[in-house]
């Protein structure tokens, strides 16, 4: 065998090994990417569930208005009592 043929065989072997490890690394990166995407989807679902849960615990506009009206009615009664007290 000539030097050129031996160099070509050695080059092919080195290139084959490099391609094998490159493919292995790409496969590992691909798997990690898939796992991260799955985890991201699960986390997004959890955040959405938490947002729904938190939003459900807020006081609605109607409830707030009803309580404020009751508070002002009570304050008006107190004001009337104070006015009567001052008139005496």
Asked whether residue 31 is assigned to any structural domain, the reply reads: no
Half-sphere exposure of 54 (CA within 13 A, CB side): 6
pLDDT (mean) for 46-54: 79
Q: Is the pLDDT of residue 24 over 80?
A: yes
Tell me, yes or no, whether 36 lies in a domain.
Answer: no
What is the average per-residue pLDDT within 53-67?
82
Q: What is the pLDDT of residue 1?
A: 63
Residue at 42 is within a domain: no
Average pLDDT, the chain: 90
Write the burial class of residue 59 (CB in 10 Å: 0-12 exposed, 13-18 middle, 19+ buried): exposed
Range of the domain at 65: 58-88
| Total domains, the chain | 1
Residue 63 falls inside a structural domain: yes
Report yes or no on 69 lying in a domain. yes
pLDDT at 43 over 90: yes
Does any domain span residue 44? Answer: no
């Amino acid at each position: 065998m000539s030097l050129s043929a031996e160099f070509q065989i050695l080059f092919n072997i080195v290139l084959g090994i490099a391609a094998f490890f490159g493919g292995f690394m790409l496969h590992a990166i691909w798997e990690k990417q898939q796992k991260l995407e799955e985890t991201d989807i699960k986390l997004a679902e959890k955040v959405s569930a938490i947002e729904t849960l938190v939003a459900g615990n807020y006081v609605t506009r109607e409830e707030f208005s009803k309580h404020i009206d009751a508070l002002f009615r009570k304050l008006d009664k107190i004001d009337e009592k104070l006015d009567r007290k001052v008139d005496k």
